[in-house]
Amino acid sequence: MELKRRYTNFSDKLKELFGARVQKLSIDAGFTCPNRDGRVGVGGCTFCDNSSFSPDYCRTAGGITEQIDAGITFFGSKYPNQKYLAYFQNYSATYAPMSVIKARVEEALSHPKISGIVLGTRPDICPDEVLDYLEELAKGCYVGVEFGVESTNNAVLKSVNRGHDYEVSEDAILRASGRGIYIGAHLIIGLPGESQEEALQGAIKVANLPIDVLKLHQLQIIKNTRMCDEFKASPENFELFTMEGYLEFLAKLIPMIPANVGFERFVNQVPPGYLVAPKWGIKNHEFTAKLDKILEKYDLWQGKFTNMPQK
Ligand code: SF4
């Protein structure tokens, strides 16, 4: 079967929505994490080193407006007409008093080049009060919330010190739905204690919730994390994906995902200085080219084997 693209790419959906290429600008808006400061837990999730996913312009540029300016300088020369979403990526962007959340969101939205906002957060820290505010905001601009679900397996969530169970994620997604907010769910594939089949079934389950975006990536062991210590002490407890194995995993998953859900990413590559394993040495666009090839080889496409009702 001849297909232009064999899965729904969320960036294509954004392009359709805005009539232009859309770039998310990662902003460190000064939020913290309740799984580090004692409110939910201490020490954080065992896999987490939050600094490993902050781009350079966000580490060095100062306040929200300055980071937006720096991000636009960084990306703008290649695509001068693109639109921008402010992406509050670091820590938990709904973990602050309402007045603080509003001030930070509104500072970002007051920037003339910003067309919307995306908040990355934990599902246990997104009360209705925040969702009510975002619902109002969504009447005038693009608003997205990305929930870190990470796994649907409660034993796995406990072992990585996540501090919430899967049911909390489902509840947050359901409470956020029907409000005009674009809902994303983030999953890590390959956490210790979760078989590939469990991860596959978990991702299918999450994709059948009322979400718009699915963000996946392979488990990476990052330097100076608790998981790194665990990995060094007992590597036999980890089954890290080879690139080929992960491509095969995605070839099983993608046909089971409803076509209305957009994929925002399949892989993540933390900077080489942070990464312990697995070292695939491949750029994201090279990985997606390989994925396209394997889907073509097996003649698979998103939704091919979906037997659950579409939302
Ligand atoms: S992954 Fe998120 S919730 Fe977990 S410790 Fe890091 S910032 Fe906190």
Q: Is 129 exposed, middle or buried (0-12, 13-18, 19+ CB in 10 A)?
A: exposed
- Looking at residue 56, its pLDDT comes to 60
Please name the residue whose Cα sits nearest to atom 8 of ligand 1.
33
Q: Which of 28, 48, 187 to mutate to test the pocket of ligand 1 (most atoms within 8 A of CB)?
A: 48
Structure tokens at 46: 């065992």
51 contacts: CB under 8 Å, gap ≥ 6: 59
57 touches 119 (CB < 8 A):
no
CATH (domain of 188): 3.20.20.70
**What is the predicted pLDDT for the residue at 89?**
93
- 271 in a structural domain: yes
Alpha carbon nearest to ligand 1 atom 6, residue: 48
Q: Whose CA is nearest to atom 5 of ligand 1?
A: 44
Nearest CA to ligand 1 atom 4: 45
Whether residue 92 is contained in a domain is answered as yes
**Which is it for strands 262-265 and 213-218: parallel, antiparallel or unpaired?**
parallel
What is the DSSP track for 202-220?
Answer: HHHHHHTSS-SEEEEEE--
β-pairing, 22-27 with 213-218? unpaired
Report yes or no: 169 and 175 within 8 Å, Cβ to Cβ: no
> Which residues span the domain enclosing 23?
10-298
Is residue 9 helix, strand or coil? strand
Q: Tell me what the pLDDT averaged over the chain comes to.
A: 94
Atom 7 of ligand 1 has which residue's CA nearest to it? 91
On whether residue 264 sits in a domain, the answer given is yes
Model confidence band, residue 54 (pLDDT cutoffs 50, 70, 90): low
Please tell me the number of Cα atoms within 13 Å of 205 on its side-chain side. 16
State how beta strands 114-121 and 83-88 pair. Answer: parallel
Burial of 97 per CB tally in 10 Å (0-12, 13-18, 19+): exposed
Non-local CB neighbours of 37 within 8 Å, separated by 6+ positions: none
Ligand 1 pocket check: which of 26, 31, 33 to mutate, most ligand atoms within 8 Å of Cβ? Answer: 33
Average pLDDT over residues 263-275: 93
Mutation pick for ligand 1 pocket among 26, 36, 147 (CB with most ligand atoms within 8 Å): 36
Q: How far apart are CA 151 and CA 201, in angstroms?
A: 10
Instruction: Please give the pLDDT value at position 106.
Output: 98
Domain membership of residue 308 (yes or no) is no
CA 43 to centroid of ligand 1, rounded, Å: 9
Decide: 46 and 234 in contact? Cβ < 8 Å: no
Residues with CB under 6 A from ligand 1: 33, 35-36, 44-45, 48, 50, 91, 122, 148
pLDDT band at 3 (very low <50, low <70, confident <90, very high): low
Please provide residue 24's backbone torsions phi and psi, each rounded to the nearest 5 degrees. -85, 130
- H/E stretch holding 150 reads strand 142-150
Residue 242 has which token pair? 């080879």
The percent of residues in the chain predicted with pLDDT above 90, rounded, is 89
pLDDT in tens, 188-215: 999 999 999 999 999 999 999 999 999 9
At residue 309, the pLDDT reads: 46
What's the pTM value of the predicted model, to 2 decimals?
A: 0.94
CA–CA gap between residue 119 and residue 110 (Å, rounded): 16
pLDDT band at 2 (very low <50, low <70, confident <90, very high): low
Atom in ligand 1 nearest the alpha carbon of residue 43: 5
**What is the spatial distance between Cα 55 and Cα 51, in angstroms, rounded to a whole number?**
9
Whether residue 184 has pLDDT greater than 50: yes
Q: Cα of 103 to ligand 1 centre, how many Å?
A: 23
Position 310 scores a pLDDT of: 43
Overall number of domains in the chain = 1
User: How many angstroms does the Cα of residue 76 sit away from the middle of ligand 1?
Assistant: 30
CA of 122 to the centre of ligand 1 (A): 8
The side-by-side arrangement of strands in the sheet containing 262-265 is 22-27, 83-88, 114-121, 142-150, 182-189, 213-218, 262-265
| Mutate-to-test residue for ligand 1 from 119, 122, 125, highest number of ligand atoms within 8 A of CB | 122
Residue 35 alpha carbon to ligand 1 centre in Å: 6
Mean pLDDT of 99-115: 98
